[in-house]
Chain A
Amino acid sequence: MSTYTETLKLKLAWQAAFELRTCPDSDTLHVSEPDEHLKKHLAICHVCREKREMNTNERNAWKFMKDKFADITMKPGAGTEKQPGQIWTLKRELGAWREDGRFIKPPTVLLLEKIEGTSGWRVVQLYHDRLMMGDGDVALDERYGFAETWNCYSLKGDRLDKCLGTVKTEQLQQVLSASVTAFEPAPAGSILSFFRTMEIEVGSFMAVPAVAELMEEWEGAKEEVFELVPGLKLALDGAKGFVMDIAADTLDLLRSTFRPSLVLRGAATKPALPKLSDEQKKLIQEHCPVVPIEVKILEDTLMVTLKWIIGKPVDLPIFRIILNGAELSGYELNDTGRNMVIITCNNDLISNKSIQNVQLAECGKNITITIYC
């Protein structure tokens, strides 16, 4: 961004994105008697307060104009067989209120691949306005905007609603390739980083219930995976009654919607196999849904905050903290009850100022975190 004008336009695009993703649609907004959700939303959203002040004449004018433009835009296909590379809308019913007073509307997605053994699809979320593109995004046809390759997740096939068309094979390849490439994250505090966090939240809102359901389709391999990743069972138990207020916490959840799909992808082939392959085990271990979100030293304590991507925190001390190759003991594990566990230990245990990193070992999986003492 080099000029004030560009910054202003980006801000305008961000305002529109926030409204399009987190404000209720017209039918939900313009009810005569707002329910508790809508009341909460109106208390925190001046855009919707203004929209509710529109009279019928004004609403009809916008509807009329929208219909005129709908007449000249492409029409979605009906009864299309699902194929990788297709652009699909999601069912309108997936839009729902979140606890925080936001109404999450279903996005459009690009089908990447079918998840073998389930009715699920691995998808990438799309956004129409290219002004919001950054590193890791792949531009598609103007009608579809761009693919957020950092925002892939799994969905059940019956969540898909209308097919809008198909991207070129090379574009699909480009998206697939970018989805496994590490890109520079958007600078902290930038409009792009706020936008991406919101997009991840939208994706999580769509994906998490689907992950739990897909897991149910996949019965045979469950226990073995749970042995590998104890946190996963508890996490998935929590996912069924999932309340989406956790994804707003941290950008470390950026990958949260991507990881479950990989877990499933690895796990889904299990019913046909006597044992999970090494590669599948590796996938599961690498993408365990427990992430450290913060390591810091506060006065005399080292604090490591862990978070479950989905579901409830475990109350068992299943972690081993390894300092300079030796296991740390004498720490306290504190369950905050909000999908978060804080491990606290006395500073005496880490008095060696040469410590450069702490490892959290979970059932053979080491998460390395660098701390600066």
Chain B
Amino acid sequence: MTSAFESWVQSQECFEILRICARQVSIRAERIGVVLEDCHIAAENRDDYLSAVASDLWQFIKVNAATIAQQATTLLVSGDEAAFMAFISQKFLDNCIDERRNSNPFQSYYRKMRALLHKASEDGTIRYEAQARKGSYYAYSNRTDIVILPDSLSGADYSTWSASTIPFAKAYDSDAMLTLSRHFWDESLRAFFAEYLLPIRELVSFVCAKYPLMLTVDYQDALDDGDGEENATINLENRLVDTVAASNALDDSWKRQRPVIEADVIDTQLDAIACDCALEMTDEEQAILMQLDAGEKLEAIAASLGMKKASNVSYYQKKAYYKIHTKWSLWGPAEIKKFADVDEEEFFMFYEKVIDFCKNEKTCRDSRKGTSA
């Protein structure tokens, strides 16, 4: 590294450049559900937030400039700044992920809860709703005029709410989680005297206030190198009880986790990505996906599309599925170990959206107007 480069890194000019670059980096961070700075700053003052991100970016570049220059050699030679931007954003976010924590138990629990409520909504007992860039909500109500819980009522001190009778050892069981969702609903009626679409995040915050989810799942992940031990959570709980270390660790865990409650792509961009995916399909692929969704047999689909054999339909079907899977492999949330059912349900949410957009391709295309000019 040259001294001229080092002097530039130390200059105000460098920081100003990074401040401008911070916007793209933060967009990319949000896309994979990593909040770079305190989310309250992000919400309240975008300038302060970008300055804070730029400061982290500056630190990263100062320490890693030589490595970046080496690893990005082929991209730098190409001369394309977009390629360099993609590279440096990725490496910076890698670094942020390393520096933060090994896992996010809140998010893991949130995803499992969201997947369960979505699945339960299929038989109509629960109302589930996702709103782009806001989050996912639920209600044990069929009222059509129900509204989202106002911000003023969010973030209550749930430690004062009455606890459920579900023991901690069962807190990850699917049935128990649904019971907890019902319990939180009932408690919300008592507290707010009205029915609201409850943010699933609030439900999980409530669960966190009642059970030491943060500490134990952290430990489980740290222990886990592939085989997994079902009882690790409970064992740790037994081992640490009544110790000062346990309560300090729990406090610390809360402090570290609370400000960085993340929103993943399902809460923020599911519609946009599903629409992209639907538009990637050819007419044949769209038609086949829709007819398969309607329960049509391959032979009937082949006949309706003027194809000779069912196998021709299989060919397009396979291509369409490959496109959906590739898209999800790119933009779906990273898999959570031990929660294969969650990953499956999340994929299904995406798949359903893609089919919806295939059915309403016009809506999808209209949403893209104005983005190409």
Contacts and interface: CB of A to CB of B under 8 A. Distances in A.
Interface of A: 2-5, 7-16, 18-20, 23, 25-27, 29, 33-34, 38-39, 42-46, 49-52, 54, 57-59, 61-66, 68-74, 76, 89, 92, 100-101, 105, 108, 126, 128-129, 142-145, 162, 164, 189, 191, 194, 248-249, 298, 303, 305, 334, 336, 338, 340, 342, 344
A298 B74 contact: no
A15 B330 contact: yes
Interface in B291-325: 298, 308-312, 314-315, 318-319, 322, 325
B334 A4 contact: yes
A73 B73 contact: yes
Given A89-B74, A143-B73, A16 B87 contact: yes
Given A4-B104, A51-B82, A72 B2 contact: yes
Contacts, number: 222
Interface string B258-278: 000000000001001100110
Contact of B71 (A14, A143, A194): A143
B77 A164 contact: yes
B82 A342 contact: no
Contacts of A38: 372
28 contacts: A2-B337, A3-B102, A5-B101, A5-B103, A9-B97, A12-B94, A12-B97, A13-B90, A15-B31, A15-B330, A42-B371, A43-B279, A45-B276, A64-B17, A65-B17, A65-B21, A66-B76, A66-B79, A70-B79, A71-B4, A72-B1, A73-B69, A128-B74, A144-B73, A144-B74, A145-B71, A303-B311, A342-B312
A3 B68 contact: no
Contacts of B98: 5
B221 to A, nearest CB: 6
B192 interface: no
Contact of A72 (B24, B69, B331): B69
Contacts of A52: 371
Contacts of A34: 372-373
Contacts of B65: 69, 72
A46 B368 contact: no
A44 B280 contact: yes
A106 B272 CA distance: 29
Contact of B308 (A8, A57, A189, A334): A334
B17 A29 contact: no
Contacts of B85: 62, 66
B17 A61 contact: yes
Nearest to B278: A44
A4 B221 contact: yes
Given A34-B372, A43-B372, A143-B73, A249 B319 contact: yes
Interface in B315-373: 315, 318-319, 322, 325-326, 329-331, 334-337, 365, 368, 371-373
A4 B108 contact: yes
Given A4-B104, A11-B32, A305 B311 contact: yes
B226 interface: yes
